[in-house]
Amino acid sequence: MVCAKCEAKVGKVITPDPWKTGARNTTEGGGRKINENKALSSRARSNPYGGTKFEKCRICRSKIHQQGAYYCQSCAYKKGICAMCGKKIIDTKNYKQSAV
């Protein structure tokens, strides 16, 4: 759950680019060299996430994959708050909510 103010921050599209533009496995455009040793020329074999550190939820301490969020989606849903800023969105006093 994200409030209207934080919705502009989330405005990234999840759909992927076409596979050839920016791909590292093509020989056109400097992506891959012919007969190269991948063990010697790898960028970051030890860290597959590229140095991205996931934040932890302030309530349940689980990892959050959404950039800029302080609460995970399940905690934000249960509490009725925005996942990014913590602002109260809906009153969940009379709701029977479950995360199942």
pLDDT digits (tens, 9 = 90+) for 6-28: 888 876 555 555 666 656 656 56
- By the 8 A CB rule, do 66 and 83 touch? yes
Q: Quickly state the pLDDT bin for 59 (edges 50, 70, 90).
A: very high
| The pLDDT of residue 8 | 81
The length of the chain is: 100
Q: Are 63 and 56 within 8 A, CB to CB?
A: yes
Cα of 96 vs its chain's centroid, Å? 29
Helix (H, G, I), strand (E, B) or coil at 29: helix
Closest CA to 78 of 62, 60, 55: 60
